Structure 1
Amino acid sequence: MISVLAQERLLGATLGCAFTGTIVFEQRRRIYESVSYYQSQAASQSQMKEPIFGKKSRSEFALQWNKTVDQIFVPVIEAISSRRW
Protein backbone atom coordinates (compact mmCIF):
# COMPACT_ATOMS: atom_id res chain seq x y z
CA MET A 1 0.00 0.00 0.00
CA ILE A 2 1.05 3.55 -0.69
CA SER A 3 1.78 5.57 2.39
CA VAL A 4 -0.09 8.77 3.17
CA LEU A 5 3.02 10.84 2.51
CA ALA A 6 3.45 9.29 -0.94
CA GLN A 7 -0.24 9.89 -1.68
CA GLU A 8 0.10 13.55 -0.70
CA ARG A 9 3.15 13.96 -2.90
CA LEU A 10 1.40 12.26 -5.82
CA LEU A 11 -1.66 14.46 -5.34
CA GLY A 12 0.53 17.57 -5.12
CA ALA A 13 2.42 16.64 -8.27
CA THR A 14 -0.82 15.92 -10.14
CA LEU A 15 -2.41 19.19 -9.06
CA GLY A 16 0.80 21.09 -9.87
CA CYS A 17 0.93 19.59 -13.35
CA ALA A 18 -2.74 20.36 -13.95
CA PHE A 19 -2.31 23.94 -12.72
CA THR A 20 0.82 24.48 -14.84
CA GLY A 21 -0.86 22.96 -17.89
CA THR A 22 -3.84 25.28 -17.45
CA ILE A 23 -1.61 28.34 -17.15
CA VAL A 24 0.43 27.37 -20.22
CA PHE A 25 -2.73 26.67 -22.22
CA GLU A 26 -4.26 30.03 -21.30
CA GLN A 27 -1.05 31.92 -22.11
CA ARG A 28 -0.78 30.24 -25.52
CA ARG A 29 -4.44 30.93 -26.24
CA ARG A 30 -3.96 34.62 -25.42
CA ILE A 31 -0.83 34.81 -27.59
CA TYR A 32 -2.59 33.21 -30.56
CA GLU A 33 -5.59 35.51 -30.12
CA SER A 34 -3.40 38.61 -30.00
CA VAL A 35 -1.40 37.51 -33.05
CA SER A 36 -4.53 36.87 -35.08
CA TYR A 37 -6.01 40.18 -33.89
CA TYR A 38 -2.94 42.15 -34.98
CA GLN A 39 -2.75 40.27 -38.28
CA SER A 40 -6.36 41.13 -39.03
CA GLN A 41 -5.72 44.76 -38.07
CA ALA A 42 -2.68 44.91 -40.34
CA ALA A 43 -4.62 43.31 -43.20
CA SER A 44 -7.49 45.78 -42.88
CA GLN A 45 -5.08 48.73 -42.72
CA SER A 46 -3.14 47.56 -45.76
CA GLN A 47 -6.38 47.30 -47.72
CA MET A 48 -7.25 50.87 -46.82
CA LYS A 49 -3.92 52.31 -47.98
CA GLU A 50 -3.76 53.58 -51.51
CA PRO A 51 -0.71 52.66 -53.53
CA ILE A 52 1.85 55.41 -54.00
CA PHE A 53 2.27 54.54 -57.65
CA GLY A 54 -0.36 53.13 -59.93
CA LYS A 55 0.27 49.86 -61.74
CA LYS A 56 1.31 51.68 -64.89
CA SER A 57 3.79 53.87 -63.02
CA ARG A 58 5.29 50.83 -61.26
CA SER A 59 5.77 48.93 -64.51
CA GLU A 60 7.35 52.00 -66.14
CA PHE A 61 9.66 52.40 -63.15
CA ALA A 62 10.64 48.73 -63.34
CA LEU A 63 11.38 49.07 -67.05
CA GLN A 64 13.55 52.15 -66.45
CA TRP A 65 15.32 50.41 -63.59
CA ASN A 66 16.14 47.39 -65.75
CA LYS A 67 17.41 49.59 -68.58
CA THR A 68 19.64 51.53 -66.19
CA VAL A 69 21.07 48.36 -64.64
CA ASP A 70 21.74 46.98 -68.11
CA GLN A 71 23.52 50.16 -69.17
CA ILE A 72 25.71 50.09 -66.08
CA PHE A 73 26.60 46.42 -65.96
CA VAL A 74 26.82 45.42 -69.64
CA PRO A 75 30.27 47.03 -70.03
CA VAL A 76 31.45 45.30 -66.85
CA ILE A 77 30.15 41.93 -68.05
CA GLU A 78 31.73 42.43 -71.47
CA ALA A 79 35.08 43.33 -69.88
CA ILE A 80 35.02 40.24 -67.70
CA SER A 81 33.95 38.06 -70.65
CA SER A 82 36.80 39.37 -72.81
CA ARG A 83 39.26 38.21 -70.17
CA ARG A 84 37.61 34.74 -70.22
CA TRP A 85 36.97 34.52 -66.49
Structure 2
Amino acid sequence: MISILAQERLLGAALGSSSIGVVVFQQRKDIYKSISDFNSQFSPQSQISKPVIAKKPRLELGHLWNKAVDQTLGSLIKSLSSCGW
Protein backbone atom coordinates (compact mmCIF):
# COMPACT_ATOMS: atom_id res chain seq x y z
CA MET A 1 0.00 0.00 0.00
CA ILE A 2 1.42 3.36 -1.05
CA SER A 3 1.59 5.95 1.69
CA ILE A 4 0.12 9.42 1.31
CA LEU A 5 3.60 10.96 1.15
CA ALA A 6 4.57 8.67 -1.72
CA GLN A 7 1.31 9.47 -3.51
CA GLU A 8 1.99 13.19 -3.15
CA ARG A 9 5.49 12.75 -4.53
CA LEU A 10 4.21 10.72 -7.47
CA LEU A 11 1.54 13.33 -8.16
CA GLY A 12 4.12 16.12 -7.95
CA ALA A 13 6.47 14.27 -10.29
CA ALA A 14 3.67 13.61 -12.78
CA LEU A 15 2.48 17.22 -12.73
CA GLY A 16 6.04 18.53 -12.95
CA SER A 17 6.88 16.26 -15.86
CA SER A 18 3.75 17.18 -17.76
CA SER A 19 4.24 20.91 -17.20
CA ILE A 20 7.89 20.72 -18.33
CA GLY A 21 6.70 18.73 -21.36
CA VAL A 22 4.26 21.50 -22.26
CA VAL A 23 6.94 24.17 -21.84
CA VAL A 24 9.44 22.24 -23.98
CA PHE A 25 6.82 21.61 -26.65
CA GLN A 26 5.94 25.32 -26.76
CA GLN A 27 9.61 26.31 -26.95
CA ARG A 28 10.24 23.86 -29.79
CA LYS A 29 7.20 25.17 -31.65
CA ASP A 30 8.51 28.73 -31.27
CA ILE A 31 11.97 27.67 -32.44
CA TYR A 32 10.64 25.96 -35.57
CA LYS A 33 8.42 28.96 -36.31
CA SER A 34 11.36 31.35 -35.99
CA ILE A 35 13.44 29.18 -38.33
CA SER A 36 10.61 29.14 -40.85
CA ASP A 37 10.27 32.93 -40.59
CA PHE A 38 14.05 33.30 -40.96
CA ASN A 39 14.08 31.17 -44.12
CA SER A 40 11.12 32.96 -45.66
CA GLN A 41 12.75 36.39 -45.19
CA PHE A 42 15.64 35.61 -47.51
CA SER A 43 14.18 33.60 -50.34
CA PRO A 44 10.59 32.38 -50.42
CA GLN A 45 11.16 30.35 -53.60
CA SER A 46 14.15 28.43 -52.24
CA GLN A 47 12.09 27.16 -49.31
CA ILE A 48 10.17 24.91 -51.67
CA SER A 49 13.22 23.26 -53.22
CA LYS A 50 15.45 23.13 -50.10
CA PRO A 51 14.74 21.35 -46.84
CA VAL A 52 13.46 23.57 -44.04
CA ILE A 53 16.39 22.68 -41.78
CA ALA A 54 19.54 23.39 -43.77
CA LYS A 55 23.08 23.59 -42.39
CA LYS A 56 23.05 27.25 -41.30
CA PRO A 57 19.58 27.21 -39.68
CA ARG A 58 20.57 23.96 -37.94
CA LEU A 59 23.30 25.89 -36.11
CA GLU A 60 20.75 28.54 -35.24
CA LEU A 61 18.38 25.82 -34.05
CA GLY A 62 21.01 24.59 -31.60
CA HIS A 63 21.56 28.12 -30.34
CA LEU A 64 17.83 28.74 -29.92
CA TRP A 65 17.37 25.38 -28.20
CA ASN A 66 20.15 26.16 -25.69
CA LYS A 67 18.66 29.59 -25.08
CA ALA A 68 15.22 28.08 -24.47
CA VAL A 69 16.61 25.53 -22.02
CA ASP A 70 18.54 28.26 -20.19
CA GLN A 71 15.41 30.38 -19.91
CA THR A 72 13.28 27.46 -18.76
CA LEU A 73 15.64 25.78 -16.31
CA GLY A 74 17.96 28.67 -15.41
CA SER A 75 16.46 29.34 -11.98
CA LEU A 76 16.49 25.63 -11.14
CA ILE A 77 20.16 25.35 -12.08
CA LYS A 78 21.00 28.44 -10.00
CA SER A 79 19.18 27.08 -6.96
CA LEU A 80 20.84 23.67 -7.26
CA SER A 81 24.23 25.34 -7.66
CA SER A 82 23.69 27.43 -4.55
CA CYS A 83 22.82 24.27 -2.59
CA GLY A 84 26.12 22.70 -3.64
CA TRP A 85 24.83 20.17 -6.16
- TM-score, structure 1 as length reference: 0.50
Equivalent position of 1:11 in the other structure:
11
> Of the two, which has the highest radius of gyration?
1
Could you list the structure 1 runs, at least 4 aligned residues long, displaced by more than 3 angstroms after superposition: none
Deviations 1:41-67 (A, max 9, x none): 1114x9xxxxxxxxxxxxxxxxxxxxx
Distance 2:42 2:6 in 1: 53
Equivalent position of 2:38 in the other structure:
38
Amino acid aligned to 1:41:
Q
Distance 2:42 2:32 in 1: 15
Alignment coverage as a number of residue pairs: 45
- TM-score, structure 2 as length reference: 0.50
> Which ranges in structure 1 are unaligned for 5 or more consecutive residues?
47-85
Q: Provide the secondary structure at the position in 2 that maps to 1:2.
A: coil
Query: Which is bigger in relative contact order (C-alpha 8 A, separation at least 6)?
Result: 2
Amino acid aligned to 2:27:
Q
Deviations 1:3-56 (A, max 9, x none): 000000000000000000100000000000010011011114x9xxxxxxxxxx
Amino acid aligned to 2:7:
Q
Tell me the percent identity.
58
Q: How does 1:1-85 map to 2 (within 5 A)?
A: 1-44=1-44
